[in-house]
């Protein structure tokens, strides 16, 4: 298990190779996970997280903005308006720096992460904070754009949980403000990884205080 | 003689997204469009339109570009940046383009990236600007097949923003 989780770079390389067709290796890794997970907790995070006051933002371009407003509402108990978000542009949304600056000004701490491994994700989900992942919504929804090169993250979603009870079918729980029924969605880890990889597994970890 | 390895387009795009201007000024969710290679000051450059793109189950929509930027190899240094609506009295006026993601379109789209990587590699190893010109010709024909000819009109882009 340790070799699976401890070396994020190694894991990423292996996962890349797996997708090029080294399927046996993938099965072996998952089997190792199964043996070790028998006496452990199968679900990391809190899958009911983020439901309070959740709202739908139909424009995926504004997902980061919407998540910022939602987190301020949920964690600080305050309402905020779009114009209060720094660098907000009516047409386009908000830049990453603008988002971070705004959240910092409201008493939130934001850590930026790249290339997170599954173990990193588990640790963050068990910590007191919220994990936002930059994904391609088209790849996440398994549209045909999955086959296109050069896809970039167009959407920020909140990952709320990870269920490893069946290591052959690991599930990711997430809230997607740009989907009408986006609160409490579930997808396979592999699908999630594909959509997250377009941003080099970029994530923001938001804590209050 | 050191032989350079192929630089994947994904790596190129990662360098670009890590640029401070990108982090500070480009709204989250915008993405670099198709790579436009050029040789300027005897250096290999890549320019991108930066715009929104929306995916549908079997279609892909590219919105009109909002920014234009040029980077010098290895694509960490930005040498040109325009916020297009504020740049020119006669901006490149294009409408959003939607194309079906059939096998042919995917092949054409991905072919642009493959050829771009090959041209960059030729430049690095042979300092051969002809590879870049060949890529530009390939680019013109591929964007035409995808219905992106008006957005990626090389003549107009050259006049308005330079480089390509």
A172-181 average pLDDT score:
92
pLDDT at A62: 81
Residues of chain B with pLDDT under 50: none
Tell me, what DSSP letter sits at residue A168?
T
The shortest CB-CB distance from B101 to any of A93, A144, A154 is to A144
Residues B6 and B123: beta-carbon distance below 8 Å: no
| Bridge partner residues of B61 (DSSP) | B54, B98
Compute the Cα dihedral for B89, B163, B110, B133 and give only its sign: positive
B9 contacts in chain A (CB < 8 Å)? 149-150
A188-201 average pLDDT score:
93
pLDDT at A88: 58
pLDDT at A172: 96
Half-sphere exposure of B91 (CA within 13 A, CB side): 16
A94 contacts in chain B (CB < 8 Å)? 27-28
Distances (CA, A) of A142 to A15, A57, A108, B124: 19, 20, 33, 36
Task: Flag whether pLDDT at A41 surpasses 70.
Answer: no
Structure tokens at A148: 């296109």
**What does the alpha-carbon distance between residue A156 and residue A150 come to, in Å, rounded to a whole number?**
18
A88-104 average pLDDT score:
80
A156-170 average pLDDT score:
91
Are the beta carbons of A64 and B52 separated by less than 8 Å? no
B24 touching chain A per CB within 8 A: yes
**pTM (predicted TM-score):** 0.83
Placement of tokens 């390895």 in the chain: B5
Interface test with B, best of A145, A155, A176 (most B CBs within 10 A): A145
Q: Measure CA B115 to chain center.
A: 12
DSSP β-ladder status, A203-208 and A130-135: antiparallel
Task: Flag whether pLDDT at A20 surpasses 60.
Answer: no
B14 touching chain A per CB within 8 A: yes
Tell me, what DSSP letter sits at residue B18?
T
């Amino acid at each position: 298990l340790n070799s699976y989780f401890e070396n994020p770079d190694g894991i990423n390389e292996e996962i890349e190779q797996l997708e090029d067709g080294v399927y046996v290796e993938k099965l072996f890794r998952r089997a190792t996970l199964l043996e070790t997970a028998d006496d452990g907790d199968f679900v990391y995070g809190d899958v009911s997280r983020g439901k309070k006051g959740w709202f739908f933002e139909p424009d995926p371009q504004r997902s980061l903005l919407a998540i910022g407003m939602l987190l301020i509402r949920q964690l600080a108990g305050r309402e905020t308006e779009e114009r209060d978000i720094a660098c907000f542009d009516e047409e386009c949304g908000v830049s990453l720096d603008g988002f971070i600056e705004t959240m910092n000004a409201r008493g939130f701490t934001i850590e930026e992460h790249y290339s997170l491994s599954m173990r990193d994700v588990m640790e963050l989900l068990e910590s007191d904070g919220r994990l936002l992942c930059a994904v391609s919504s088209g790849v996440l929804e398994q549209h045909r754009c999955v086959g296109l090169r050069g896809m970039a993250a167009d959407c920020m979603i909140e990952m709320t949980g990870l269920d490893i009870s069946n290591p052959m079918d690991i599930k990711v729980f997430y809230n997607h403000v740009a989907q009408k029924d986006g609160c409490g969605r579930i997808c396979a880890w592999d699908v999630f990884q594909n959509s997250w990889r377009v941003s080099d597994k970029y994530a923001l970890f938001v804590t209050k205080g | 003689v050191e032989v350079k390895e192929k630089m994947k387009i994904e790596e190129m795009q990662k360098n670009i997204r890590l640029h401070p201007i990108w982090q500070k000024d480009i709204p989250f969710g915008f993405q670099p469009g198709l790579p436009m290679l050029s040789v300027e000051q005897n250096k290999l450059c890549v320019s991108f339109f930066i715009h929104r793109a929306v995916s549908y189950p079997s279609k892909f929509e590219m919105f009109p570009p909002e920014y234009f930027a040029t980077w010098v190899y290895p694509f960490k240094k930005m040498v040109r940046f325009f916020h297009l609506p504020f740049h020119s009295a006669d901006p490149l006026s294009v409408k959003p383009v939607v194309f079906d993601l059939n096998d042919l379109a995917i092949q054409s789209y991905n072919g642009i990236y493959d050829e771009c990587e090959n041209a960059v590699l030729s430049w690095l190893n042979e300092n051969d600007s002809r590879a870049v010109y060949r890529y530009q010709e390939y680019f013109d024909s591929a964007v035409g097949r995808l219905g992106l000819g008006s957005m990626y009109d090389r003549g107009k882009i050259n006049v308005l923003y330079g480089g390509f």
